[in-house]
Amino acid sequence: MLIIEGHKHMADVGFARFSAREVAKRIGYSIGTLYNVFGTYDQLIIAINTRTFVLWTDYIRDALGKSGGKSGDDRIRALVEGYFGFARANRNAWMAIYDHHLPPDVTMPPEHDALRGQLTDVVVEEVRAVLPPACQAEAPRLARSLVATVHGHCMFDLNGSFALMGEKEPMALALARVRESLLAARASC
């Protein structure tokens, strides 16, 4: 409940204008109670961002589901479109994931790591599916790299860098890079 409303507030105002006090006000609790539950501002943000990860993963699984019995290429497209689609439809919440940095002395609770890691797991599985048996061992590493590739394009899309450079189809660009790398991987092992 706290997290859901906190997530809404993040979606409404973005990371820079987010405040724990406002979340408390929105659910009718006092600021003190909220701090008793989460202990720290950072922990609240972590919880909200993990929720964003979960919603994002669901969104991408959905996109994969809708690409039904289609070929591997269509599933790769669904992955990229799912990545971009969620980020664009949830600008503030998505950006908050990367706006928030843990202080060096704080660590992410393992259960949050596990939930967030599922998104990568989905990608690894799809990459594995389009690689020949001989090089499936490389799937995790390649998948991480492709996620980074798509992430870079998505980031530049949302923060206006691409628009500034006159780029009109960042997603197509990202998909092209992913396809190239998958082709190269298939050829080289």
Q: How far is the CB of 82 from a second copy (least distance, A)?
A: 16
Could you tell which of a second copy, DNA, none binds residue 14, using a CB distance below 5 to 8 A set by kind? a second copy
- Closest by alpha carbon to 15, among 99, 102, 120? 99
Which of 39, 184, 186, 189 binds a second copy (CB under 8 A)? It is: 184
Per-residue mark of binding to a second copy, 29-68 (x: CB under 8 A): ----------------------------------------
Task: Give min distance, CB of 169 to DNA, in A.
Answer: 35
- Asked if 47 contacts 73 with a C-beta cutoff of 8 angstroms, the reply is no
From the list 12, 73, 113, 125, which residue makes contact with a second copy (rule: CB under 8 A)? 113
Q: Determine if 15 is a binding residue for DNA (CB under 7 A).
A: no
Burial of residue 148 (number of CB atoms within 10 Å: 0-12, 13-18, 19+): exposed
User: From CA 162, how far away is CA 3, in angstroms rounded?
Assistant: 33
User: Any contact of residue 18 with DNA (CB under 7 A)?
Assistant: yes
**Comparison of 15 and 29: residue with beta carbon closer to a second copy:** 15
User: For DNA, which stretch binds (CB under 7 A), given 36-44, 59-67, 78-86, 150-158?
Assistant: 36-44
d(CA 37, CA 55): 22
Which residues are CB-contacts of 22 (< 8 A; sequence separation ≥ 6)? 9, 13
Phi-psi region of 132 (alpha: psi -120 to 50; beta: other; left: phi over 0): beta
Residue 157: how many CA atoms within 13 Å on its side-chain side? 23
Taking CB under 8 A as the rule, does residue 180 contact a second copy?
yes
User: Which stretches of the chain bind a second copy, using CB under 8 A?
Assistant: 14, 16, 95, 98-99, 101, 113, 117, 120, 140-141, 144-145, 147-153, 155-156, 159, 161-162, 164-165, 167, 170, 173-174, 176-177, 180-181, 183-184
